[in-house]
Amino acid sequence: MQLPALRLAPLFLALVCSTAPAQPGPQMNLPRVELTAGMYRIDAQVAASDAARQTGLMFRQDMPAQEGMLFVFEQPATQCFWMRNTLLPLTAAFVADDGTIVNLADMKPQTDDSHCSAKPVRYVLEMNQGWFAKRGIKAGSKLGGSLFKR
């Protein structure tokens, strides 16, 4: 009577293996908003839910130069970011409600180093590392867009 059980073992194993959770992938279909930084246009994906903010730019292999991700929080707070499962070197701009960049932080891929806002903010904009520096955009510069209070 053990013979039928042995024949079912591979089938059971195949079924269990096929229902294992898949490796999460990059978020590509979030809503988008157009922002400006001086004369430069930014096409930003908007991560406004807990799930979208937690995944962020993880697993992305590349990102066009003019694109980024804007993290939107319900209220200003000290925001801290890390780069676990994030493959791209990024710069985070911590942004006040009026669009003023409070501080910038360059972040290395696939690290758990914490990068925090210098004061409470509601927005964080991640761009490819060097994007802000190459355009002379630094702390005190203002971003434009419909989300920011005037």
In this model, does residue 24 exceed pLDDT 60?
yes
The model's pTM is 0.83
- For the segment 57-67, the average pLDDT, to the nearest whole number, is 95
CA–CA distance, 11 with 124 (Å, rounded to integer)? 48
Confidence band of 14 (pLDDT split at 50, 70, 90): very low
What Cα–Cα distance (Å) separates residue 125 from each residue in 11, 23, 104? Answer: 48, 26, 9
Judged against a pLDDT cut of 90, whether residue 105 lies above it is answered with: yes
pLDDT of 15 > 50? The answer is no
How high does pLDDT run on average in the chain?
A: 88
According to DSSP, the residues that pair with 33 across neighbouring strands are: 44
Q: Is 59 helix (H, G, I), strand (E, B) or coil?
A: coil
Domains of the chain: residue spans and CATH: 26-144 (2.60.120.1140)
The strand ranges marked E within the chain are 32-37, 40-47, 67-77, 80-81, 90-95, 101-107, 115-116, 121-128, 143-144
Which tens digits make up the pLDDT trace of 63-102?
999 999 999 999 999 999 999 999 999 999 999 999 999 9
Please, which pLDDT band fits residue 150 given cuts at 50, 70 and 90? low
User: How far apart are the C-alpha atoms of 62 and 117, rounded to whole Å?
Assistant: 25
pLDDT band for position 26 (50/70/90)?
confident
Mean pLDDT in residue range 111-130: 97
Q: Are 63 and 43 in contact (CB under 8 A)?
A: no
Distance CA 44, CA 99 (A): 14
